[in-house]
A and B are shown apart, each in its own frame.
Chain A
Amino acid sequence: MREEEGVLLAGLAEHGVSRRSFLKFCTTLASAMALPPAAGLAMAEAMASARRPSVIWLPFQECTGCTESITRSHAPTIESLIFNVISLDYQETLMAAAGHQAEEALHNAIKDNFGKYLLIVDGSIPLGLDGAYSCIAGKSNLETLKEVAKGAAAIVAMGTCAAYGGIPKANPNPTGAVSVSDIIKDKPIVNIPGCPPIPVVMTGVLAHFLTFGSLPELDKLGRPKAFYGETIHDRCYRRAFYDQGKFAKTFDDEGARNGWCLFELGCKGPVTYNACATAKWNGGTSWPVESGHGCLGCSEPDFWDAGSFYKALSMPASPLKVAAGAAVAGAALGAAVSFANRTKKGAAKAGHETTTLPDLEK
């Protein structure tokens, strides 16, 4: 029954979701991506009538947080039902199968849908020790990625690890972790960074892909502009306090309790592109700044190495190393020059030839 057309609406009805609600969901999703109203309808129709495409989800050097985020979404059950719209043929955490059966499912999905399946990747890909740092079924992630990417229509790099390398890539990067786009160069890739990403961002991108058969407009870092087009800072509800210079100095001072800007406590909002300030988390319950903690910048490349989470953007990102030595060097150099200067002046004085009247003429 899963391959039949028009099954989504029936499935939804079984779960008590009316067609009307489904339409409403689609138009909301469309507007969240700043698409025209007609797109919402188009999305609904596409999803309702789509032949459910095959989706393969490969987990590499990851923490499973991205999977947790998507499945923990407390959004209307419709979101999780979206997974009924796609044919999630391989997902290690969620699938029932294991071992050889799981492997077989993967191979069949690739074979049956070659060139047409959507590949979702989470986790970074380690290159160190020939990729031995992360292997599944005896094969390195690197090898697996290259193999499975061959038949993918598009790749979704899910989470900051897959998009940019994430925490494994953080200094000193012992496993030689890299991102998906560092390895695959010949397929359309959409990066959905975040540690983890916001659930609705994932579903929005998928819906776009299903509706239009292409990936949404992406920014320079491969992120959908609909969700990553603005900085947290530019959408932050505490922005007025930043503009006035009202900052919380500690996590429990009066400023903090008054909800003042968290810039001085290390908020990376100004340099972070994500939808947290608008879409928020846990079905719109809250988000880090609203809870009183600065943004970590988790959707940006190398955010783990961008200086302490608790040091403001205007503070040094790492402790000064050369300053003390340079000062000593300066004093030493200065002393040397002083010695040379005084010697020269002394020599000039010693070599003084008293001027007499005739000496005024050349």
Chain B
Amino acid sequence: MSASLEKGVRVLKEVIDAPIASYFSSCVHCGLCAEACLFYTETRDPKYTPIHKLEPMRRLYEQEYTAIGRLKKLIGLSKAVTDAELAEWQELVYNSCTLCGRCSVVCPVGNDIVYMIRKFREGMSASGNAPDGIKGAVNRTVTIGSPMGVKLPAVKAQMRHVEEDYGLPIPMDAEGAEYLVMLSSMEIMNFPEYLGAIAKIMHQAGKTWTLCSTAFEATNAGMQIGNSDLARVIVSRIVEGAEKLKVKTVISPECGHAYTALRWEGANLIGRPFGFKVRHIIEVLGEFQEQGLLKTDGFETDRLTFHDPCQLARRGGVIKQQRNLMNMVAKNFVEMPDAGFMNWCCGGGGGASAIEEGEELRMEAFKKKKSQFDAVKPDRVVTACANCRIVMEEGLEHYKMDLPVVGLTEMIADHIPNPVVAKPEGN
């Protein structure tokens, strides 16, 4: 129970760097970032303007790191950042921001607003102003091993089911395997077909792979709450597991923020480069497709569209692969307006979906996603993030839209003929 404003301020002072100083000094209050943010466009409430979500940090930067700001503080002309203010800002920094990054690509002076929000969350969490929903998720991830509270026995149970259904072994702790496959709680709980899909694909490609008993969870709630210390604890498990099993590549599952946490933040959290590669499953499938290791049969014939998860596409750089994969198994693939790099967020990433009190806002914001669907009227939506799937399903239900959401990896695997393999001889 030691979160305090003082701690939060100290953390912010630590994380504020030259980019942030440059960004705050460049903002000209043009308001274009608001037009890029679905929380503003669907509610028309100016308080959701992305740069405004950073106002306390901006004042802190001025008061701590500029000569004039320090002078003003000295003579009592500046407004101090208070705990009450940070509490007030919780809604703006967490509920109404999914770290989707659209604001960062739109700002004409080049401000990377999502970069700043991520850092602001460090101060928010250290000062005790993070939302309960995400705190719970972090708690469960750190103590139990996954944000939804999934433990190893549950994983093993799923493994057995998949082995039975698909007739393929699901390796665990296999040292020297090429790929270490990570899962997200969502997949273990809600979409177990993912594991089966992996098994089929790996079998066809002839690649060795494994799960890790001490590191099966990819989701990093520490990153979502914005606390590097906690994010480090979670990532370290994966690093230890990968290094112990001596794998070449760790595969991040169909989850957005898990990829960002491991692929882009991971090495910086532990303070050294990884000795292994990190790839999103879609990247791996893309590689397999290029190398001719992916052989599929038949096509989906209904009208399909693809929702690009923010952390995969705009923030992760994986944009072409999903399209190539879609074209491999879909005859009627249509793109939504703004698809790809400029896609609109589902509204639930970055921990937002864990915040109960933010649900109403999320449903408002979902109108944007709904408008994209309305523009192409697909029969089904394909995506590559389990959280996006859940969030979109909730949103579609709220708006009484009958539109199934499916995962890309599963869809690919559905078109791989089931292998004829002898039953495993037991574990």
Is the pairing of A and B real?
Answer: yes
Is A355 a contact of B125 with CB atoms below 8 Å?
yes
Q: Which of A189-197, A205-213, A341-349 contacts B (4 or more CB under 8 A)?
A: A341-349
Interface flag for A337 (CB, 8 Å): yes
Is A360 a contact of B125 with CB atoms below 8 Å?
yes
Is A349 a contact of B14 with CB atoms below 8 Å?
yes
Q: In the assembled complex, which residues on chain A have CB atoms less than 8 Å from the CB atom of B126?
A: 355, 359
Q: In the assembled complex, which residues on chain B have CB atoms less than 8 Å from the CB atom of A358?
A: 1-2
Q: In the assembled complex, which residues on chain B have CB atoms less than 8 Å from the CB atom of A360?
A: 3, 125, 128, 130, 135, 138, 225, 227, 230
Interface flag for A353 (CB, 8 Å): yes
Interface of chain A, helix or strand or loop or mixed? Answer: helix
Interface flag for A220 (CB, 8 Å): no
Interface flag for B276 (CB, 8 Å): no
Q: In the assembled complex, which residues on chain B have CB atoms less than 8 Å from the CB atom of A341?
A: 65
Instruction: Name the residue in B139, B142, B230 with the highest tally of chain A Cβ atoms < 10 Å from its Cβ.
Output: B230
Interface flag for A333 (CB, 8 Å): yes
Is A356 a contact of B67 with CB atoms below 8 Å?
no
Contact partner, A345, options B1, B13, B143, B227, Cβ 8 Å = B13
Interface of chain B, helix or strand or loop or mixed? Answer: helix
A349 vs B64: C-alpha distance in the bound complex, in angstroms?
A: 14
Is B65 a contact of A333 with CB atoms below 8 Å?
no
Is A355 a contact of B227 with CB atoms below 8 Å?
yes
Is A353 a contact of B7 with CB atoms below 8 Å?
yes
Is A352 a contact of B3 with CB atoms below 8 Å?
no
Is B67 a contact of A352 with CB atoms below 8 Å?
no
A354 vs B130: C-alpha distance in the bound complex, in angstroms?
A: 16
A100-129 toward B: CB 8 Å interface, digit per residue (1/0)? 000000000000000000000000000000
A345 vs B64: C-alpha distance in the bound complex, in angstroms?
A: 10
Q: In the assembled complex, which residues on chain A have CB atoms less than 8 Å from the CB atom of B1?
A: 358-359, 361-362
A167 vs B142: C-alpha distance in the bound complex, in angstroms?
A: 87
Smallest CB-CB separation from B16: which chain A residue? A345
Interface flag for A320 (CB, 8 Å): no
Query: How many chain A residues touch the partner (CB < 8 A)?
Result: 19
Interface flag for A357 (CB, 8 Å): yes
Interface flag for A99 (CB, 8 Å): no
Contact partner, A357, options B65, B127, B139, Cβ 8 Å = B139
Smallest CB-CB separation from B64: which chain A residue? A344
Query: How many chain B residues touch the partner (CB < 8 A)?
Result: 29
Q: In the assembled complex, which residues on chain A have CB atoms less than 8 Å from the CB atom of B135?
A: 360-361
A341 vs B17: C-alpha distance in the bound complex, in angstroms?
A: 10
Contact status of A357 and B230, CB under 8 A, knowing A344-B65, A345-B16: yes
Q: In the assembled complex, which residues on chain B have CB atoms less than 8 Å from the CB atom of A355?
A: 125-126, 227, 229-230
Contact partner, A356, options B10, B14, B66, B229, Cβ 8 Å = B229
Smallest CB-CB separation from A360: which chain B residue? B135
Q: In the assembled complex, which residues on chain A have CB atoms less than 8 Å from the CB atom of B4?
A: 362
Is A344 a contact of B13 with CB atoms below 8 Å?
yes
- Least distance between B125 CB and chain A CB atoms (Å): 6
A359 vs B1: C-alpha distance in the bound complex, in angstroms?
A: 5
Q: In the assembled complex, which residues on chain B have CB atoms less than 8 Å from the CB atom of A344?
A: 13, 64-65
Q: Which of A324-356 contact B (CB under 8 A)?
A: 333, 337, 341, 344-345, 348-349, 351-356
Q: In the assembled complex, which residues on chain B have CB atoms less than 8 Å from the CB atom of A362?
A: 1, 3-4, 83, 127-128
A361 vs B83: C-alpha distance in the bound complex, in angstroms?
A: 13
Q: In the assembled complex, which residues on chain A have CB atoms less than 8 Å from the CB atom of B64?
A: 344
Contact status of A337 and B67, CB under 8 A, knowing A357-B139, A362-B1: yes
Smallest CB-CB separation from B228: which chain A residue? A355
A110 vs B14: C-alpha distance in the bound complex, in angstroms?
A: 88
A185 vs B228: C-alpha distance in the bound complex, in angstroms?
A: 81
A114 vs B22: C-alpha distance in the bound complex, in angstroms?
A: 78
Is B10 a contact of A351 with CB atoms below 8 Å?
yes
A344 vs B1: C-alpha distance in the bound complex, in angstroms?
A: 26
- Least distance between A310 CB and chain B CB atoms (Å): 41
Q: Which of A161-175 contact B (CB under 8 A)?
A: none
Smallest CB-CB separation from A350: which chain B residue? B14
A3 vs B191: C-alpha distance in the bound complex, in angstroms?
A: 126
Contact status of A359 and B2, CB under 8 A, knowing A344-B64, A344-B65: yes
Give the top 3 A-B pairs by smallest Cβ distance, nearest first: A362-B128, A348-B13, A348-B14
Pick 18 A–B contacts, CB within 8 A, sort by A: A337-B66, A345-B13, A348-B14, A349-B14, A354-B229, A355-B125, A355-B126, A355-B227, A357-B138, A358-B1, A359-B1, A359-B126, A360-B135, A360-B138, A360-B230, A361-B128, A362-B83, A362-B127
Task: Please name 18 further chain A to chain B contacts, defined as beta carbons within 8 Å, in addition to the given A358-B2, A361-B135, sorted by A numbering.
Answer: A349-B14, A352-B10, A352-B14, A354-B229, A355-B125, A355-B126, A355-B227, A355-B229, A356-B230, A357-B138, A357-B139, A358-B1, A359-B2, A359-B3, A360-B3, A361-B1, A362-B3, A362-B128
B-binding residues in A (CB < 8 A): 333, 337, 341, 344-345, 348-349, 351-362
